[in-house]
């Protein structure tokens, strides 16, 4: 792989050991994937933030990179951490975990990484434009950036994303290149989808059909989709199929002509219903945990939760997961006060998947297909996927009951 003179100097250690290690990581990755060169990136999103995933070994590596002079050269933010950084006690996080999680965040801060911990960086200022080369790690955000924003990123791992931040570069392969971004299969959706959980179920169906194929779907038949629907779809199709790029006719940018594509398949309403049913194994009476915000909630979704909870009483553990800056808007708009008065809890900076809550609950209700997947596989919870409003209402005292 060809390096510029500046990159060669980085490799020779002229800019410190952390930069040197970073270039080594990127060069090794580039060699594996046949990249000819490194290219500049303008935005980075780093995964591997929860101490429950990193452990002491991961923290030691971050500390070493910080001590080795590693400093982010481009805008870099974090994926969710294992706790609400300001309000971890309310979520039942132990003091020991909180201390370790804070050590992780401090290491990132020493490297000038912005410690906003969110899987929706595109909602809070880390927002690339069409055709911008970036290096993001969170699979749902990668899919959203490539497909909805039209930016260009591979799915980075934690170390390669950090290396991109510390050098401002990434190897040029995969979704940075035009040929890898061409649609390869047409998908016709013969059903109306209009709700986050519908989009999650649709993402599961398409993802499972494409799993392991690296195919880029071009999806027909979706009439309208909100930002919230699209982030839900991205999270699901990435989780169930590893899809990092799709096109949706008349909804996402740069949907090139696909009339010559031979491969295609159709999705029916029954397929979507079957996918939805497969994510429900919890009985209503077993539900002891309710969570919204996978991926992290938009301010519009928080406003809707406040509207639905106004004057009601929450009787289940109910987490509202979002990015810290979005919560700050909710604070100012008065939504937080309404939601907390009802008894729901904000879980900013974290989520029901990366928080260390394995085995703590029996059954989760959510509107997220991705959350169903990980709540079951990682935390051993039963799950039920429902439409957004029904999720909120499943956490509250039934009408007419006495306190």
Structure tokens at 264: 């295609």
> Nearest approach, Cβ of 51 to ligand F3S (angstroms)?
15
Binding ligand F3S by CB under 6 A: which of 294, 297, 306, 309? Answer: 294
Binding mask 363-382 for ligand F3S (x = CB under 6 A): -------xx--x--------
Query: Do the beta carbons of residue 371 and residue 378 sit within 8 Å?
Result: no
Q: Quick check: 327 binds ligand F3S (CB under 6 A)?
A: no
Core vs surface per residue 194-220: b (16+ CB within 10 A) or e: ebbbbbbbbbbbbbebbeeeebbbbbb
> Nearest approach, Cβ of 291 to ligand F3S (angstroms)?
9
Q: Quick check: 119 binds ligand F3S (CB under 6 A)?
A: yes
Q: Which stretch binds ligand F3S (CB under 6 A): 38-46, 124-132, 162-170, 292-300?
A: 292-300
In angstroms, the CA 305 to CA 260 distance is 45
Q: Quick check: 121 binds ligand F3S (CB under 6 A)?
A: no
Query: Total residues at the site for ligand F3S (CB under 6 A)?
Result: 15
Query: Do the beta carbons of residue 382 and residue 403 sit within 8 Å?
Result: no
- Kindly give, in sequence order, each residue whose CB lies less than 8 Å from that of residue 364, ignoring residues fewer than 6 positions away: 282, 287, 289, 290, 291, 352, 371, 372, 375, 379, 381, 382, 383, 384
- Kindly give, in sequence order, each residue whose CB lies less than 8 Å from that of residue 137, ignoring residues fewer than 6 positions away: 45, 46, 47, 48, 79, 155, 156, 157, 158, 160, 161
> Nearest approach, Cβ of 354 to ligand F3S (angstroms)?
5
> Nearest approach, Cβ of 399 to ligand F3S (angstroms)?
30
- Please name every residue paired with 188 in a beta bridge, in sequence order, or none if there are none: 220, 266
* Contacts (CB under 6 A) with ligand F3S, residues 223-242: 235
Q: Quick check: 295 binds ligand F3S (CB under 6 A)?
A: yes
Structure tokens at 358: 């394995």
Q: Quick check: 354 binds ligand F3S (CB under 6 A)?
A: yes
Residue 294: CA atoms inside 13 Å, Cβ hemisphere, count? 31
Q: Which stretch binds ligand F3S (CB under 6 A): 151-159, 282-290, 291-299, 334-342?
A: 291-299
Binding ligand F3S by CB under 6 A: which of 58, 70, 80, 217? Answer: 80
Q: Quick check: 353 binds ligand F3S (CB under 6 A)?
A: yes
How far is C-alpha 172 from the geometric centre of its chain's CA atoms? 23
> Nearest approach, Cβ of 249 to ligand F3S (angstroms)?
25
> Nearest approach, Cβ of 361 to ligand F3S (angstroms)?
15
In angstroms, the CA 348 to CA 59 distance is 22
- By CB under 6 A, name the binding residues for ligand F3S: 79-80, 119, 140, 235, 294-296, 321, 351, 353-354, 370-371, 374
């Amino acid at each position: 792989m060809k390096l510029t003179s500046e990159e060669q100097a980085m490799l020779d250690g002229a800019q410190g050991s952390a930069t040197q290690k970073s270039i080594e990581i990127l060069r090794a990755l580039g060699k594996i994937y046949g990249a000819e060169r490194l290219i500049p990136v303008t935005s980075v999103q780093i995964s591997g933030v929860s101490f429950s995933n990193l452990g002491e070994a991961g923290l030691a590596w971050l500390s070493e990179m910080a001590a080795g002079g590693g400093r982010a050269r481009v805008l870099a933010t974090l994926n969710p951490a294992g706790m609400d950084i300001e309000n971890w006690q309310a979520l039942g996080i132990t003091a020991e975990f909180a201390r370790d999680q804070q050590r992780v965040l401090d290491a990132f801060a020493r490297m000038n990484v912005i410690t906003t911990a969110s899987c929706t960086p595109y909602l809070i200022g880390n927002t690339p434009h069409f055709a911008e080369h970036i290096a993001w790690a969170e699979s749902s955000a990668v899919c959203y950036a490539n497909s909805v924003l039209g930016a260009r990123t591979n799915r980075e791992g934690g170390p390669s994303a950090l290396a991109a931040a510390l050098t401002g570069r990434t190897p040029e392969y995969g979704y940075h290149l035009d040929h890898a971004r061409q649609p390869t299969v047409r998908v016709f959706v013969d059903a109306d989808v209009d709700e986050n959980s519908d989009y999650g179920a649709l993402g599961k169906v398409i993802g499972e059909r494409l799993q392991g194929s690296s195919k880029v779907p071009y999806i027909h038949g979706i009439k309208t989709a909100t930002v919230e629907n699209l982030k839900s779809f991205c999270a699901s199709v990435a989780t169930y199929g590893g899809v990092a790029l799709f096109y949706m006719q008349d909804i996402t940018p740069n949907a090139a002509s696909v009339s010559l594509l031979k491969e295609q398949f159709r999705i029916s309403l029954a397929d979507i219903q079957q996918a939805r049913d497969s994510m429900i194994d919890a009985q209503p009476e077993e539900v002891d945990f309710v969570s919204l915000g996978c991926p992290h909630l938009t301010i519009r979704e928080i406003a809707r939760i406040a509207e639905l909870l106004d004057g009601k009483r929450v009787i289940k553990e109910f987490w509202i997961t979002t990015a810290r800056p979005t919560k700050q808007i909710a604070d100012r708009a008065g939504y937080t006060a309404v939601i907390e008065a009802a008894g729901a809890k904000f879980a900013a900076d974290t989520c029901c998947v990366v928080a260390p809550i394995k085995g703590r609950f029996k059954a989760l209700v959510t509107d997220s297909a991705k959350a169903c997947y990980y709540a079951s596989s990682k935390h051993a919870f039963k799950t039920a996927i429902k439409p957004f409003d029904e999720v909120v209402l499943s956490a509250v005292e039934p009408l007419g009951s006495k306190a």
